[in-house]
Chains A and B, each alone.
Chain A
């Protein structure tokens, strides 16, 4: 049996983690487990005061359990890749691990009053987006699809916490092929 792991350090918002786990189970129809992860201070760039997503992905690849189909880490830290000022998340395309950040999903980050519902909705969109990449999905041209590229919070808000018909069909096809491969082996 393979599991979809949702991992986080103890400081991460528990309500969000529950919502993400439920959504992953429903969306990808796989059993979901939680995994406690270490804090990601090792990835901190003191100059940028942000966390490098590449060392985080490397750590995740090392700690992913043997029965892990995928491992999606959720962090409070603001993530970056060297060439960009920030990323909402980072995944191994068609790989096993991904990480998403909650830092820029809260209204407070933009100087606005807290809005719990919006925050959780955004987190679900990003969780679907990064998990989608690990299943091989690339950015989608459909602006309402969870797989569309969101480079600012307006674009994140404009998409839905769901895959478009085309991306959903791709995932279904992959699921069928995966199940077939498992039966054959």
Chain B
């Protein structure tokens, strides 16, 4: 259908403008005209035209190239055809470099212009169809922003949907970067607590005392610097959901406090004597195997059972490679918009690199890889070259670069970080590679504040 597409013809010569507009109207398009670059930009502000025919030489301080650049800032997807009576290689190169889709010299053959417009409209129709299909597909495979077509992951999302209306505690297990918080948010959003707060706390990020105050709040004067009463995350999440990330990393004391909250739904602020009652759903997450931690004596079994009422296990990205294209396109669409880049597609080669890569950092690593590739991309399509850093990452054992002047402690930290990455965050495997026992590794991770 042609009538959906609107065209703007921009030329200071009225006869040129009107005759091309009339010719295009006879072809069934809705055509507007503008007598100057400024008028064109004003019209582009009001309406999104599919094609702009812009004369290169226009008076009034805004020529065709400047007009094109301003229009493209408003509508990055607009197709701009530069028209000129003075054909030079330089102007053609400039026009194309600045983003003109085509460059025609007037007078031009009617067949040429007709083919050109038809080709652009055909691509626009396909792009629109593609966008609609992608949206449909994304709706089909998504549950509150969690996207997957993997059968295990679909089971996870089905379970998340089923339990969203309950108050039962949920334990989400999965490697770092698999999207545990996303699933927790989805459960919150799908349930009847959606209008109430969702409060996320990373238990690994804070020292024990700070975490205690963060979770339960404190009274005025509870400790040095506590100049006024402060509510904790549990109070902030009242009526909603509290998400406790990296629950496997909390201290024995906090494990006891948390157990009490889960059992009695009440607690005391740090330095307080007044009991605070709360109604919030607890969703905990961990990338460590809590059953192993219980067996090793580092995690309380009673707390584990309290948390493990409903268990959700998120498979790593390498076990659901069919999601990689879906996720990559989702991130591409979002990130290119956020980063203000006009990167709209992924080449087949690039997609293959992404599918073949092992993704130790899971979906988060995929998102970061897309961001890095988009930032460094100079065209409109991401190709294999834009992901060359992934290929380098996946080749054999990496050499550690140890700059001169590094302390022994810094070197140890670097080695632990690299080993954890290679072992996909698996503590048992990392400890074995490093030749130390797991509790020593845990201590060092804590000591060096290594995020996992």
Chain A residues at the B interface, C-beta cutoff of 8 Å: 48, 53-54, 80-87, 90-91, 93, 133, 138-139, 149, 151-152
Partner among A84, A91, A139 whose Cβ is within 8 Å of the Cβ of B109: A84
Q: In the bound complex, do residue B28 and residue A83 qualify as a contact, i.e. CB atoms below 8 Å apart? A: no
How long is the Cα–Cα vector from A99 to B113 in the complex, in angstroms?
A: 21
Q: In the bound complex, do residue B109 and residue A82 qualify as a contact, i.e. CB atoms below 8 Å apart? A: no
Q: In the bound complex, do residue B107 and residue A85 qualify as a contact, i.e. CB atoms below 8 Å apart? A: yes
How long is the Cα–Cα vector from A139 to B13 in the complex, in angstroms?
A: 26
Known: A83-B108, A84-B107, A138-B28. 4 other contacts (CB 8 A): A54-B18, A82-B106, A87-B110, A139-B27
Please, how many residues of chain B have a CB less than 8 angstroms from a CB on the other chain?
Answer: 21
Q: In the bound complex, do residue B113 and residue A138 qualify as a contact, i.e. CB atoms below 8 Å apart? A: no
- How far does the Cβ of B119 sit from chain A's closest Cβ, in whole Å? 14
Q: Mark B1-38, 1 if CB is under 8 A from A, else 0.
A: 00000000000010110111011011110000000000
Question: Does any Cβ of A come within 8 Å of B111's Cβ?
Answer: yes
Partner among A54, A83, A93, A152 whose Cβ is within 8 Å of the Cβ of B107: A83
Residue from the set B22, B23, B110, B111 with the largest chain A CB neighbour count within 10 Å: B110
Known: A54-B15, A149-B114, A152-B111. A83 touches B27 (CB 8 A): no
Question: In the assembled complex, which residues on chain A have CB atoms less than 8 Å from the CB atom of B109?
Answer: 84-85, 151
Closest to A53 in B: B19
Chain B residues at the A interface, C-beta cutoff of 8 Å: 13, 15-16, 18-20, 22-23, 25-28, 83, 106-111, 113-114
What are 15 of the A-B contact pairs (CB < 8 Å)? A54-B18, A54-B19, A81-B19, A82-B106, A82-B107, A83-B19, A83-B106, A84-B23, A84-B108, A84-B113, A85-B108, A85-B110, A133-B26, A151-B111, A152-B111
Q: In the bound complex, do residue B16 and residue A82 qualify as a contact, i.e. CB atoms below 8 Å apart? A: yes
How long is the Cα–Cα vector from A86 to B106 in the complex, in angstroms?
A: 11
How long is the Cα–Cα vector from A160 to B27 in the complex, in angstroms?
A: 18
- How far does the Cβ of A152 sit from chain B's closest Cβ, in whole Å? 5
Which secondary structure dominates where chain A touches chain B?
Answer: loop
How long is the Cα–Cα vector from A82 to B17 in the complex, in angstroms?
A: 9
The number of A-B residue pairs with CB atoms under 8 Å apart is 61
How long is the Cα–Cα vector from A53 to B16 in the complex, in angstroms?
A: 12
Partner among A80, A93, A139, A149 whose Cβ is within 8 Å of the Cβ of B22: A93
- How far does the Cβ of B241 sit from chain A's closest Cβ, in whole Å? 55
Q: In the bound complex, do residue A82 and residue B25 qualify as a contact, i.e. CB atoms below 8 Å apart? A: no
- How far does the Cβ of B96 sit from chain A's closest Cβ, in whole Å? 20
Question: In the assembled complex, which residues on chain A have CB atoms less than 8 Å from the CB atom of B20?
Answer: 81, 83
- How far does the Cβ of B162 sit from chain A's closest Cβ, in whole Å? 50
- How far does the Cβ of A36 sit from chain B's closest Cβ, in whole Å? 27
Q: In the bound complex, do residue B15 and residue A93 qualify as a contact, i.e. CB atoms below 8 Å apart? A: no
Question: In the assembled complex, which residues on chain B have CB atoms less than 8 Å from the CB atom of A151?
Answer: 109-111, 114
How long is the Cα–Cα vector from A80 to B201 in the complex, in angstroms?
A: 72
Question: In the assembled complex, which residues on chain B have CB atoms less than 8 Å from the CB atom of A54?
Answer: 15, 18-19
Q: In the bound complex, do residue B19 and residue A93 qualify as a contact, i.e. CB atoms below 8 Å apart? A: no
How long is the Cα–Cα vector from A126 to B27 in the complex, in angstroms?
A: 15
- How far does the Cβ of B5 sit from chain A's closest Cβ, in whole Å? 13
How long is the Cα–Cα vector from A115 to B143 in the complex, in angstroms?
A: 69
Residue from the set A81, A83, A133 with the largest chain B CB neighbour count within 10 Å: A83
How long is the Cα–Cα vector from A151 to B15 in the complex, in angstroms?
A: 21
Question: In the assembled complex, which residues on chain A have CB atoms less than 8 Å from the CB atom of B26?
Answer: 91, 93, 133, 138-139, 149
Partner among A48, A80, A83 whose Cβ is within 8 Å of the Cβ of B83: A83
How long is the Cα–Cα vector from A139 to B26 in the complex, in angstroms?
A: 6
Question: In the assembled complex, which residues on chain A have CB atoms less than 8 Å from the CB atom of B16?
Answer: 82-83
Known: A54-B15, A82-B19. A138 touches B25 (CB 8 A): yes
How long is the Cα–Cα vector from A136 to B26 in the complex, in angstroms?
A: 9
How long is the Cα–Cα vector from A83 to B82 in the complex, in angstroms?
A: 12
Closest to A132 in B: B26
Closest to A137 in B: B26
How long is the Cα–Cα vector from A86 to B19 in the complex, in angstroms?
A: 12
Question: In the assembled complex, which residues on chain B have CB atoms less than 8 Å from the CB atom of A152?
Answer: 111
How long is the Cα–Cα vector from A84 to B109 in the complex, in angstroms?
A: 6
Question: In the assembled complex, which residues on chain A have CB atoms less than 8 Å from the CB atom of B15?
Answer: 54, 82
How long is the Cα–Cα vector from A48 to B106 in the complex, in angstroms?
A: 12
- How far does the Cβ of B317 sit from chain A's closest Cβ, in whole Å? 46
Q: In the bound complex, do residue B27 and residue A138 qualify as a contact, i.e. CB atoms below 8 Å apart? A: yes
Closest to B114 in A: A151
How long is the Cα–Cα vector from A49 to B213 in the complex, in angstroms?
A: 89
Question: In the assembled complex, which residues on chain A have CB atoms less than 8 Å from the CB atom of B83?
Answer: 83
Question: In the assembled complex, which residues on chain B have CB atoms less than 8 Å from the CB atom of A81?
Answer: 19-20, 22-23
How long is the Cα–Cα vector from A48 to B22 in the complex, in angstroms?
A: 21
- How far does the Cβ of B110 sit from chain A's closest Cβ, in whole Å? 4
- How far does the Cβ of A97 sit from chain B's closest Cβ, in whole Å? 13
- How far does the Cβ of A86 sit from chain B's closest Cβ, in whole Å? 7
How long is the Cα–Cα vector from A40 to B428 in the complex, in angstroms?
A: 93
Closest to B110 in A: A151
- How far does the Cβ of B182 sit from chain A's closest Cβ, in whole Å? 46
Closest to B115 in A: A151
- How far does the Cβ of B18 sit from chain A's closest Cβ, in whole Å? 8
Closest to B27 in A: A139
Question: In the assembled complex, which residues on chain B have CB atoms less than 8 Å from the CB atom of A53?
Answer: 19
- How far does the Cβ of B313 sit from chain A's closest Cβ, in whole Å? 55
How long is the Cα–Cα vector from A81 to B24 in the complex, in angstroms?
A: 12
Question: In the assembled complex, which residues on chain A have CB atoms less than 8 Å from the CB atom of B114?
Answer: 149, 151
- How far does the Cβ of A22 sit from chain B's closest Cβ, in whole Å? 25
Closest to B28 in A: A138
Question: In the assembled complex, which residues on chain B have CB atoms less than 8 Å from the CB atom of A83?
Answer: 16, 19-20, 23, 83, 106-108, 113
How long is the Cα–Cα vector from A90 to B25 in the complex, in angstroms?
A: 12
Closest to A129 in B: B26
Question: In the assembled complex, which residues on chain B have CB atoms less than 8 Å from the CB atom of A138?
Answer: 25-28
